[in-house]
């Protein structure tokens, strides 16, 4: 696909990936509704196969490949969740997965990739190093690149999360709130949501320390920042994708930032009060709601909990930020 994905692309992706993913639940909290004054519906992709929404896009991309495209396997660079999802999707199709990971990727995420049969090559934690190492692998193996977000097949697959959410929630929503790294999830969800319900307001949420989207939207083009130092390790992309950026610019009302303490507190809030185990990246969208970062007047919202791949050491490290 060369043109931006459409709702039809998202619907076709949903049919394609249905045998390989979970239809994840939508959970609510009366207590949180009372505290925020809004009806909130949490799309829990922490329960997804491989622990994150990334399985949607990875399965759509891998099972969209022709036999010729797939014969030498697939390759990507990723800090963790896309890597694991692609390794799993490749195993389901019976092809190789060559995965470039930054050497500061969390060990549990590296172990997950290896567990799905992915062949890992570590590199320095910069976008240039990731892209260079991945291209070297592709040149050596003939594998097909499946970019973690800058790929319309990925975007259409990720959009199936919003397709399910809006189908499973009765009545229209005022807003959709989605975390933002490279932009694949937000671009796909915004594509689906705005086509189904044009009046819905879509917001992207990113860590304050990784504000490449805020800067890029102001500049009108993708802006590169240093590798973000944030606990939301799945959102450490240093610049928006050139495929995702125009989609987000066109369909998303605003990009909002949350602080490290807000991310940490929300991660623990979700666990303690809602029994939702989310990784810090997965809690970013919820943090914007919990800390009332959305514009006033929103009375209902869908919130994507994007993933749950977190280890207990990470959770323990967040505890000092969760003070009473």
As a whole number of angstroms, the distance between CA 58 and CA 154 comes to 6
Residues 85 and 50 sit within 8 Å (Cβ to Cβ): yes
From the candidates 64, 79, 105, 281, give the one annotated as an active-site residue: 79
Both tokens of 71, joined, read: 């014969």
- How many C-beta atoms surround the C-beta of residue 70 within 10 A? 19
- SS3 of 253, please? coil
- How many C-beta atoms surround the C-beta of residue 250 within 10 A? 12
Q: How far from chain centre, in Å, is Cα 163?
A: 15
From the candidates 54, 78, 281, 306, give the one annotated as an active-site residue: 54
Q: Taken in order 208, 83, 131, 249, is the CA torsion positive or negative?
A: negative
Concerning whether 29 is annotated as a catalytic residue, the answer is no
Concerning whether 79 is annotated as a catalytic residue, the answer is yes
Question: For the stretch 106-138, what's the b/e string if a residue is b when 16 or more beta carbons lie within 10 angstroms of its beta carbon?
Answer: bebbbebbeebebbbeebebeeebbeebbeebb
Q: How far from chain centre, in Å, is Cα 174?
A: 21
User: Count of alpha carbons within 13 Å of 86, Cβ hemisphere only?
Assistant: 33
Q: Provide the annotated active-site residues.
A: 54, 79
């Amino acid at each position: 696909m060369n043109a931006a994905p459409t709702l039809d692309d998202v619907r076709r992706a949903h049919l394609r990936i249905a045998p390989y993913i979970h239809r994840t639940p939508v959970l609510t909290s009366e207590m949180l509704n009372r505290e925020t004054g809004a009806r909130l519906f949490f799309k829990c992709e922490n329960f997804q196969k491989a622990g994150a929404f990334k399985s949607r896009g990875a399965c759509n991309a891998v099972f969209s490949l022709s036999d010729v495209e797939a014969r030498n396997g697939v390759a990507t660079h990723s800090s963790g969740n896309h890597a694991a999802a692609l390794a799993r999707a490749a195993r389901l199709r019976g092809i190789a997965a060559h995965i470039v990971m930054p050497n500061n990727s969390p060990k549990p995420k590296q172990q997950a990739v290896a567990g799905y049969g992915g062949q890992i090559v570590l590199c320095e934690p910069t976008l240039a190093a990731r892209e260079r190492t991945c291209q070297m692998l592709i040149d050596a193996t003939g594998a097909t690149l499946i970019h973690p977000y800058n790929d319309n097949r990925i975007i259409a697959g990720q959009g199936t999360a919003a397709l399910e959410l809006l189908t499973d929630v009765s009545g229209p929503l005022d807003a959709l709130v989605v975390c933002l790294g490279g932009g694949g999830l937000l671009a796909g969800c915004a594509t689906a949501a705005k086509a189904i319900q044009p009046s819905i307001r879509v917001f992207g949420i990113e860590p304050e320390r990784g504000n490449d989207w805020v800067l890029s939207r102001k500049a009108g083009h993708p802006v590169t920042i240093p590798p973000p130092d944030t606990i939301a390790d799945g959102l450490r992309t240093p610049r928006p994708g050139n495929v995702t950026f125009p989609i987000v610019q066109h369909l998303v009302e605003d990009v909002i930032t949350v602080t490290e303490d807000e991310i940490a507190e929300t991660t623990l809030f979700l666990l303690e009060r809602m029994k939702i185990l989310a990784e810090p990246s997965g809690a970013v969208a919820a943090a914007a709601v919990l800390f009332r970062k959305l514009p006033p007047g929103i009375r209902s919202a869908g919130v994507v909990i994007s993933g749950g791949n977190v280890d207990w050491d990470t959770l323990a490290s967040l505890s000092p930020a969760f003070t009473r």
